Protein backbone atom coordinates (compact mmCIF):
# COMPACT_ATOMS: atom_id res chain seq x y z
CA UNK A 1 0.00 0.00 0.00
CA UNK A 2 2.34 2.69 -1.27
CA UNK A 3 0.15 4.71 -3.60
CA UNK A 4 -1.28 8.08 -2.66
CA UNK A 5 -4.68 6.78 -3.72
CA UNK A 6 -4.59 3.99 -1.11
CA UNK A 7 -3.55 6.45 1.58
CA UNK A 8 -6.44 8.74 0.64
CA UNK A 9 -8.89 5.81 0.84
CA UNK A 10 -7.43 4.86 4.23
CA UNK A 11 -7.97 8.38 5.56
CA UNK A 12 -11.52 8.33 4.24
CA UNK A 13 -12.11 5.00 6.01
CA UNK A 14 -10.99 6.44 9.37
CA UNK A 15 -13.36 9.40 8.84
CA UNK A 16 -16.18 7.02 7.90
CA UNK A 17 -15.74 5.17 11.20
CA UNK A 18 -16.42 8.40 13.12
CA UNK A 19 -19.56 9.09 11.06
CA UNK A 20 -20.67 5.48 11.59
CA UNK A 21 -20.58 5.77 15.37
CA UNK A 22 -22.20 9.22 15.34
CA UNK A 23 -25.14 7.90 13.31
CA UNK A 24 -25.65 4.57 15.05
CA UNK A 25 -25.69 6.26 18.46
CA UNK A 26 -29.09 7.66 17.43
CA UNK A 27 -30.59 4.19 17.96
CA UNK A 28 -28.00 2.17 19.92
CA UNK A 29 -26.80 3.21 23.38
CA UNK A 30 -23.34 1.97 24.40
CA UNK A 31 -22.02 -1.37 23.03
CA UNK A 32 -19.13 0.46 21.31
CA UNK A 33 -16.77 -2.53 21.43
CA UNK A 34 -19.44 -4.78 19.91
CA UNK A 35 -20.14 -2.29 17.11
CA UNK A 36 -16.41 -1.84 16.50
CA UNK A 37 -15.95 -5.60 16.07
CA UNK A 38 -19.00 -5.84 13.79
CA UNK A 39 -17.53 -3.15 11.54
CA UNK A 40 -14.11 -4.86 11.52
CA UNK A 41 -15.66 -8.22 10.65
CA UNK A 42 -17.68 -6.72 7.79
CA UNK A 43 -14.60 -5.03 6.30
CA UNK A 44 -12.57 -8.27 6.67
CA UNK A 45 -15.22 -10.42 4.90
CA UNK A 46 -15.75 -12.26 8.18
CA UNK A 47 -18.80 -13.32 10.20
CA UNK A 48 -19.77 -12.82 13.84
CA UNK A 49 -21.30 -14.96 16.57
CA UNK A 50 -23.04 -12.80 19.20
CA UNK A 51 -23.74 -14.36 22.59
CA UNK A 52 -26.05 -12.55 24.99
CA UNK A 53 -29.32 -12.80 26.87
CA UNK A 54 -32.53 -11.60 25.18
CA UNK A 55 -33.34 -7.89 25.17
CA UNK A 56 -29.84 -6.47 24.66
CA UNK A 57 -30.67 -4.92 21.24
CA UNK A 58 -28.77 -7.49 19.18
CA UNK A 59 -31.41 -7.51 16.43
CA UNK A 60 -31.86 -3.72 16.50
CA UNK A 61 -28.09 -3.36 16.18
CA UNK A 62 -28.03 -5.37 12.97
CA UNK A 63 -31.10 -3.67 11.50
CA UNK A 64 -29.50 -0.28 12.20
CA UNK A 65 -26.26 -1.48 10.60
CA UNK A 66 -28.11 -2.53 7.43
CA UNK A 67 -29.85 0.85 7.29
CA UNK A 68 -26.57 2.74 7.75
CA UNK A 69 -24.83 0.74 5.03
CA UNK A 70 -27.74 0.68 2.55
CA UNK A 71 -27.58 -3.13 2.35
CA UNK A 72 -30.24 -5.82 1.96
CA UNK A 73 -31.10 -7.38 5.31
CA UNK A 74 -32.81 -10.70 6.07
CA UNK A 75 -33.53 -12.40 9.37
CA UNK A 76 -34.00 -16.13 9.98
CA UNK A 77 -35.49 -17.27 13.27
CA UNK A 78 -33.89 -20.67 13.81
CA UNK A 79 -36.28 -23.29 15.19
CA UNK A 80 -36.10 -27.11 15.59
CA UNK A 81 -38.30 -27.67 12.51
CA UNK A 82 -36.36 -25.32 10.18
CA UNK A 83 -35.16 -27.07 7.01
CA UNK A 84 -32.03 -26.31 4.89
CA UNK A 85 -34.27 -25.21 1.99
CA UNK A 86 -35.83 -22.58 4.29
CA UNK A 87 -32.39 -20.92 4.29
CA UNK A 88 -30.98 -21.50 0.82
CA UNK A 89 -34.15 -21.64 -1.26
CA UNK A 90 -36.15 -24.32 -3.02
CA UNK A 91 -37.11 -25.54 -6.49
CA UNK A 92 -40.74 -25.79 -7.54
CA UNK A 93 -42.35 -27.08 -10.73
CA UNK A 94 -43.60 -24.26 -12.92
CA UNK A 95 -45.75 -24.69 -16.04
CA UNK A 96 -45.30 -22.51 -19.10
CA UNK A 97 -48.77 -21.24 -19.97
CA UNK A 98 -47.94 -20.92 -23.67
CA UNK A 99 -46.27 -24.28 -24.38
CA UNK A 100 -47.63 -26.28 -21.45
CA UNK A 101 -44.11 -27.52 -20.66
CA UNK A 102 -43.14 -27.97 -17.05
CA UNK A 103 -39.77 -27.06 -15.62
CA UNK A 104 -38.11 -26.49 -12.27
CA UNK A 105 -37.67 -22.91 -11.11
CA UNK A 106 -35.40 -21.97 -8.20
CA UNK A 107 -36.80 -19.54 -5.65
CA UNK A 108 -34.05 -17.91 -3.63
CA UNK A 109 -34.10 -18.15 0.16
CA UNK A 110 -33.25 -15.47 2.76
CA UNK A 111 -29.51 -16.28 2.49
CA UNK A 112 -29.54 -14.19 -0.71
CA UNK A 113 -28.98 -10.88 1.04
CA UNK A 114 -26.04 -8.72 2.12
CA UNK A 115 -26.57 -9.02 5.87
CA UNK A 116 -28.10 -12.21 7.28
CA UNK A 117 -29.18 -12.39 10.91
CA UNK A 118 -29.28 -16.02 12.07
CA UNK A 119 -31.24 -15.60 15.29
CA UNK A 120 -30.70 -18.29 17.97
CA UNK A 121 -28.71 -20.45 15.56
CA UNK A 122 -28.26 -23.20 18.16
CA UNK A 123 -31.99 -23.97 18.23
CA UNK A 124 -31.95 -25.80 14.89
CA UNK A 125 -30.49 -29.27 14.12
CA UNK A 126 -26.98 -29.68 12.62
CA UNK A 127 -28.38 -30.54 9.18
CA UNK A 128 -29.87 -27.04 8.92
CA UNK A 129 -26.92 -25.32 10.61
CA UNK A 130 -24.60 -26.85 8.00
CA UNK A 131 -26.64 -25.26 5.20
CA UNK A 132 -24.90 -22.02 6.14
CA UNK A 133 -21.38 -23.51 5.92
CA UNK A 134 -20.89 -23.19 2.16
CA UNK A 135 -22.52 -19.76 2.09
CA UNK A 136 -20.25 -18.45 4.87
CA UNK A 137 -17.01 -19.82 3.44
CA UNK A 138 -17.51 -19.79 -0.35
CA UNK A 139 -20.16 -17.04 -0.63
CA UNK A 140 -22.25 -19.33 -2.81
CA UNK A 141 -24.82 -22.11 -2.42
CA UNK A 142 -25.44 -25.29 -4.39
CA UNK A 143 -28.96 -26.49 -5.14
CA UNK A 144 -29.84 -29.46 -7.34
CA UNK A 145 -26.34 -29.44 -8.82
CA UNK A 146 -26.42 -25.75 -9.75
CA UNK A 147 -24.22 -23.15 -8.09
CA UNK A 148 -25.67 -19.75 -7.18
CA UNK A 149 -23.39 -16.89 -6.18
CA UNK A 150 -24.40 -14.62 -3.30
CA UNK A 151 -24.56 -10.84 -3.46
CA UNK A 152 -21.47 -9.01 -2.24
CA UNK A 153 -20.71 -7.99 0.43
CA UNK A 154 -22.12 -10.96 2.36
CA UNK A 155 -22.09 -10.94 6.15
CA UNK A 156 -23.61 -13.48 8.57
CA UNK A 157 -24.35 -12.45 12.12
CA UNK A 158 -25.57 -15.28 14.34
CA UNK A 159 -26.92 -14.99 17.89
CA UNK A 160 -27.07 -17.44 20.79
CA UNK A 161 -28.75 -17.31 24.19
CA UNK A 162 -26.22 -18.48 26.83
CA UNK A 163 -28.87 -19.26 29.47
CA UNK A 164 -31.28 -21.74 27.91
CA UNK A 165 -29.53 -24.93 26.81
CA UNK A 166 -32.52 -27.29 26.83
CA UNK A 167 -33.57 -28.25 23.31
CA UNK A 168 -30.52 -26.65 21.69
CA UNK A 169 -27.89 -28.06 19.32
CA UNK A 170 -24.34 -26.79 20.02
CA UNK A 171 -22.62 -25.54 16.89
CA UNK A 172 -20.05 -28.02 15.49
CA UNK A 173 -16.40 -26.96 15.61
CA UNK A 174 -16.26 -26.67 11.79
CA UNK A 175 -18.99 -24.05 11.83
CA UNK A 176 -17.68 -22.21 14.89
CA UNK A 177 -14.35 -21.84 13.10
CA UNK A 178 -16.06 -19.98 10.26
CA UNK A 179 -16.97 -17.11 12.56
CA UNK A 180 -14.26 -14.48 12.74
CA UNK A 181 -15.37 -13.14 16.14
CA UNK A 182 -17.20 -14.54 19.15
CA UNK A 183 -18.61 -11.47 20.90
CA UNK A 184 -20.16 -11.41 24.36
CA UNK A 185 -22.95 -8.79 24.55
CA UNK A 186 -23.14 -7.65 28.17
CA UNK A 187 -25.78 -5.78 30.13
CA UNK A 188 -25.71 -1.97 29.79
CA UNK A 189 -24.43 0.17 32.65
CA UNK A 190 -26.90 2.05 34.89
CA UNK A 191 -26.40 5.30 32.94
CA UNK A 192 -26.76 3.53 29.59
CA UNK A 193 -29.95 1.79 30.70
CA UNK A 194 -31.42 5.14 31.80
CA UNK A 195 -30.71 6.50 28.31
CA UNK A 196 -32.21 3.38 26.67
CA UNK A 197 -35.43 3.72 28.68
CA UNK A 198 -35.72 7.43 27.82
CA UNK A 199 -35.30 6.74 24.10
CA UNK A 200 -37.59 3.73 23.87
CA UNK A 201 -40.50 5.01 25.95
CA UNK A 202 -41.04 8.27 24.05
CA UNK A 203 -42.45 8.97 20.59
CA UNK A 204 -39.01 9.95 19.32
CA UNK A 205 -38.01 8.29 16.03
CA UNK A 206 -34.63 8.54 14.38
CA UNK A 207 -33.89 8.04 10.71
CA UNK A 208 -30.33 6.95 10.01
CA UNK A 209 -28.37 8.45 7.13
CA UNK A 210 -26.55 6.11 4.76
CA UNK A 211 -22.82 6.12 5.53
CA UNK A 212 -21.51 3.46 3.14
CA UNK A 213 -22.73 1.75 -0.02
CA UNK A 214 -22.02 -1.84 -1.09
CA UNK A 215 -19.42 -0.67 -3.66
CA UNK A 216 -17.59 1.43 -1.07
CA UNK A 217 -17.50 -1.51 1.37
CA UNK A 218 -15.99 -3.75 -1.34
CA UNK A 219 -13.38 -1.03 -2.05
CA UNK A 220 -12.45 -0.91 1.65
CA UNK A 221 -12.35 -4.73 1.85
CA UNK A 222 -9.83 -4.77 -1.01
CA UNK A 223 -7.81 -2.01 0.65
CA UNK A 224 -7.55 -3.98 3.93
CA UNK A 225 -5.96 -6.88 2.02
CA UNK A 226 -3.31 -4.54 0.54
CA UNK A 227 -2.15 -3.15 3.90
CA UNK A 228 1.42 -4.38 4.59
CA UNK A 229 2.33 -6.25 7.79
CA UNK A 230 5.81 -6.33 9.36
CA UNK A 231 7.44 -9.75 9.79
CA UNK A 232 7.61 -9.45 13.58
CA UNK A 233 3.82 -8.87 13.73
CA UNK A 234 3.18 -11.90 11.50
CA UNK A 235 5.49 -14.02 13.65
CA UNK A 236 3.77 -12.86 16.84
CA UNK A 237 0.30 -13.79 15.51
CA UNK A 238 1.36 -17.25 14.31
CA UNK A 239 3.36 -17.85 17.50
CA UNK A 240 0.33 -16.90 19.64
CA UNK A 241 -1.86 -19.43 17.83
CA UNK A 242 0.87 -22.11 18.09
CA UNK A 243 1.00 -21.53 21.86
CA UNK A 244 -2.62 -22.73 22.11
CA UNK A 245 -1.79 -26.22 20.77
CA UNK A 246 -1.01 -28.74 23.49
CA UNK A 247 1.45 -30.85 21.47
CA UNK A 248 3.24 -27.89 19.90
CA UNK A 249 6.80 -27.03 20.94
CA UNK A 250 5.66 -23.44 21.68
CA UNK A 251 2.93 -24.60 24.08
CA UNK A 252 3.15 -22.89 27.48
CA UNK A 253 2.48 -24.31 30.93
CA UNK A 254 -0.99 -22.69 30.86
CA UNK A 255 -1.76 -24.52 27.62
CA UNK A 256 -0.64 -27.86 28.98
CA UNK A 257 -2.70 -27.43 32.16
CA UNK A 258 -5.96 -25.97 30.89
CA UNK A 259 -6.46 -26.53 27.14
CA UNK A 260 -7.61 -29.70 25.37
CA UNK A 261 -7.65 -28.42 21.78
CA UNK A 262 -6.00 -25.34 20.31
CA UNK A 263 -6.80 -23.00 17.43
CA UNK A 264 -6.21 -23.82 13.76
CA UNK A 265 -4.52 -21.80 10.98
CA UNK A 266 -7.72 -19.80 10.32
CA UNK A 267 -7.15 -18.09 13.68
CA UNK A 268 -3.74 -16.82 12.48
CA UNK A 269 -5.31 -15.53 9.27
CA UNK A 270 -8.06 -13.70 11.12
CA UNK A 271 -5.59 -12.22 13.64
CA UNK A 272 -3.60 -10.64 10.81
CA UNK A 273 -6.48 -9.41 8.65
CA UNK A 274 -8.36 -8.24 11.76
CA UNK A 275 -5.32 -6.33 13.03
CA UNK A 276 -4.97 -4.68 9.60
CA UNK A 277 -8.54 -3.43 9.80
CA UNK A 278 -8.28 -2.44 13.47
CA UNK A 279 -5.22 -0.34 12.63
CA UNK A 280 -6.78 1.14 9.46
CA UNK A 281 -9.89 2.30 11.35
CA UNK A 282 -7.54 4.21 13.65
CA UNK A 283 -5.70 5.89 10.78
CA UNK A 284 -2.56 3.70 10.90
CA UNK A 285 -0.86 2.47 7.73
CA UNK A 286 0.25 -0.86 9.21
CA UNK A 287 -0.70 -2.92 12.28
CA UNK A 288 1.58 -3.60 15.24
CA UNK A 289 1.60 -6.22 18.01
CA UNK A 290 -0.78 -4.14 20.17
CA UNK A 291 -3.39 -4.34 17.40
CA UNK A 292 -3.08 -8.16 17.45
CA UNK A 293 -3.60 -8.17 21.23
CA UNK A 294 -6.63 -5.89 20.94
CA UNK A 295 -8.60 -8.40 18.84
CA UNK A 296 -7.13 -11.69 20.14
CA UNK A 297 -9.85 -12.56 22.68
CA UNK A 298 -12.92 -12.54 20.37
CA UNK A 299 -10.94 -14.40 17.68
CA UNK A 300 -9.57 -17.15 19.96
CA UNK A 301 -12.24 -17.71 22.61
CA UNK A 302 -14.44 -19.98 20.45
CA UNK A 303 -11.49 -21.83 18.91
CA UNK A 304 -10.00 -23.18 22.13
CA UNK A 305 -11.44 -26.05 24.17
CA UNK A 306 -10.84 -25.90 27.93
CA UNK A 307 -10.45 -29.06 30.02
CA UNK A 308 -12.15 -29.99 33.30
CA UNK A 309 -9.25 -28.65 35.33
CA UNK A 310 -9.79 -25.14 33.92
CA UNK A 311 -13.47 -25.33 34.95
CA UNK A 312 -12.63 -26.64 38.42
CA UNK A 313 -10.01 -23.92 39.06
CA UNK A 314 -12.16 -21.13 37.62
CA UNK A 315 -9.89 -20.36 34.67
CA UNK A 316 -12.13 -18.63 32.12
CA UNK A 317 -11.28 -18.66 28.42
CA UNK A 318 -10.49 -14.94 28.45
CA UNK A 319 -8.10 -15.40 31.39
CA UNK A 320 -6.27 -18.19 29.55
CA UNK A 321 -5.91 -15.99 26.46
CA UNK A 322 -4.61 -13.09 28.60
CA UNK A 323 -1.93 -15.40 30.00
CA UNK A 324 -0.88 -16.37 26.46
CA UNK A 325 -0.59 -12.80 25.11
239 and 162: one domain?
no
What pLDDT band is residue 45 in, cutting at 50, 70 and 90? confident
297 and 244: one domain?
yes
Residues of the chain above pLDDT 70, percent: 98
157 and 233: one domain?
no
Instruction: Show which of 226, 251, 281 is a domain's final residue.
Output: 226
14 and 63: one domain?
yes
122 and 256: one domain?
no
Domain holding 161: CATH number? Answer: 3.40.50.300
Number of domains in the chain: 2
With a CB cutoff of 8 Å and minimum separation 6, the contacts of 143 are 88, 89, 90, 91, 106
57 and 195: one domain?
yes
Q: Is 168 exposed, middle or buried (0-12, 13-18, 19+ CB in 10 A)?
A: middle
106 and 199: one domain?
yes
pTM of the model: 0.85
203 and 249: one domain?
no
211 and 85: one domain?
yes
Instruction: Show which of 211, 226, 241 is a domain's final residue.
Output: 226
Structural domain containing residue 118: 1-226
pLDDT for res 166: 66
278 and 210: one domain?
no
pLDDT for res 271: 92
267, pLDDT greater than 70: yes
Name the nearest CA neighbour of 87 among 119, 111, 107, 112.
111
107 and 222: one domain?
yes
Instruction: Show which of 226, 258, 283 is a domain's final residue.
Output: 226
1, pLDDT greater than 70: no
Length reported for the chain: 325
The mean pLDDT value for 296-311 works out to: 86
145 and 29: one domain?
yes
Amino acid sequence: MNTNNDQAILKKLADTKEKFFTEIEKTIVGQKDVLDHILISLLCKGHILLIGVPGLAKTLMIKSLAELLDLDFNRIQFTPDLMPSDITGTEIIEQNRTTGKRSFKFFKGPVFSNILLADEINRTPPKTQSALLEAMQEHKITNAGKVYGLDQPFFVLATQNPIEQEGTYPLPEAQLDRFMFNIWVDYPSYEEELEIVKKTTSDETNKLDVILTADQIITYQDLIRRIPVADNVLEYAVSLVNKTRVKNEKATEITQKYITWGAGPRASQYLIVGAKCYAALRGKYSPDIEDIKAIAKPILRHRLVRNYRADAEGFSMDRIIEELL
